[in-house]
Amino acid sequence: MWGGRFAGGPSPLLDAINRSIGTDFRLWPHDVRLSKAWALALGEAGVLTREESDALQQGLDRVAQRIADGAQPVATDEDIHTMIDRLLHEEAGTVASKLHTGRSRNDQVATASRLWTIDACHRVDAAIAELQQSLLMQAETLTDAVLPAYTHLQRAQPVSGTHWLLAHFWPLSRDRTRFANAERGTSVMPLGSGAIAGSAFPVSRVLLKESLGFHAISANSIDATGDRDFVAETLFACAMTAAHCSRLAEDMILYGTSEFGFVKFGDGFSTGSSMMPQKRNPDVFELARGSGARVLGDLVSILGTIKGLPSGYSKDLQDDKRALFNAVDLLLLVLPSMAGAIAELRFEKARMRAACSSAMMATDLADYLVKKGATFREAHGAVGSLVRQAEESGIELDKLPVEAFTAAHALFGTDAREALGVDASLAARNIDGGTGPDAVQRQLTQARASLAPV
């Protein structure tokens, strides 16, 4: 493809370090598509005759068919673009040498990568929606469940089971918005930029954009050939999604321990031990948690690459695809596995409720005093002293004698201990976004609506 300028052949080491077909082979449908659009545009511009343009487009269709039928790279195929060029010569003969008129692999690879990424954003979006569906289905079964919510991993306040699971639903909604934005940013067409200065042939970029379905045309050929913002943005969306999967997984791993005992893992997504017959391990959640680190590595890798480069294309950019494909592949494995593992969880509602010890309603007790006229500061002090007394005498807060309450604050009445009820605590929080039963019903409606097809 570029041998004319060189007297000697390439070192085998150059070949080894330079060959990217192992990674970029999957770009072939997009490369064929953009090449057909290019052949059409060259014909429309009068650069090629109608017959030449048609021959190239038909040849490219046969190339696509051969690859779909299993055609494999040969040793001289540096990347998918050179492989398709070779196959096109085999299929269409010498006219194949006219396809590369006015274009470069620089605008070609940027265009093919963007087409692949647009498709990937849709696939990941659908996989996230599937996980959300699974969470929502389980959340609907937990409207009567309560469990401790933790801050600093210390029991904080009781919340509805639905509320807890939906706390993992909304971050995924934001991830979907991030993928939609990444897709929008990706949908800018570099084709026509040539190697760096723009094509010298009068092809219609509008025609190209329309036939390839891009949203916009790049404004600057130097920028367009070196721009990998779309890779970084997509990888950020991937990394954020992976982090959310990791956090969800960690909740399940933790709450599935014998010590917590809030959830039980199903057979389809847990493993046993080769030695310990009693074991049931949440491998899917652990692998999902671990994947977060790998996807983060991919994001850091593209940012590091971009950071070191001057303007225009440099070969460093070839590795953008390794990072991007790895992250997307991983998510397309993690998200459906998580959806499956979530769907088969069983929740131990009695254990969840039993873990809501009365000290967790200390805030409600302070609120009780506030409603009777005390300041919150004063109430906090009084309730704090009761918590200390209970702790020192080794009993639950709601088991302290009534006299202890009235001694702690004059505004405590005989009904004080009722403020320590779990359900009362939830019922007090029907504020929008709160864990009260009415608020949670409204939240469920909102979640269902957000998943409904638009």
In the complex with ligand ARG, the residue whose CB is nearer, 317 or 444, is 317
CB of 79 to ligand ARG, least distance (A): 4
In the complex with ligand ARG, the residue whose CB is nearer, 63 or 142, is 63
Answer yes or no: are the C-beta atoms of 298 and 326 closer than 8 Å.
yes
Give the three-class secondary structure for 149.
Answer: strand
Identify the bridge partners of residue 46 per DSSP, sorted by sequence position: none
In the complex with ligand ARG, the residue whose CB is nearer, 319 or 367, is 319
Active site members = 152, 273
CB of 91 to ligand ARG, least distance (A): 22
In the complex with ligand ARG, the residue whose CB is nearer, 18 or 177, is 18
Short-list 234, 243, 241, CA closest to 303: 234
Residues 6+ apart with CB under 8 A from 118: 183, 186, 187
CB of 244 to ligand ARG, least distance (A): 30
CB of 219 to ligand ARG, least distance (A): 21
How far apart, in Å, are the Cα atoms of 394 and each of 200, 314, 353? 85, 69, 20
Short-list 127, 131, 21, CA closest to 119: 127
**Which residues lie near ligand ARG (CB under 6 A)?**
20, 24, 79, 105-106, 109, 313, 315, 317-318
Answer yes or no: are the C-beta atoms of 88 and 67 closer than 8 Å.
no
In the complex with ligand ARG, the residue whose CB is nearer, 36 or 228, is 228
How far apart, in Å, are the Cα atoms of 147 and each of 143, 227, 396? 11, 48, 17
Query: From CA 276, how far away is CA 412, in angstroms rounded?
Result: 54
Give the three-class secondary structure for 294.
Answer: helix
CB of 298 to ligand ARG, least distance (A): 16
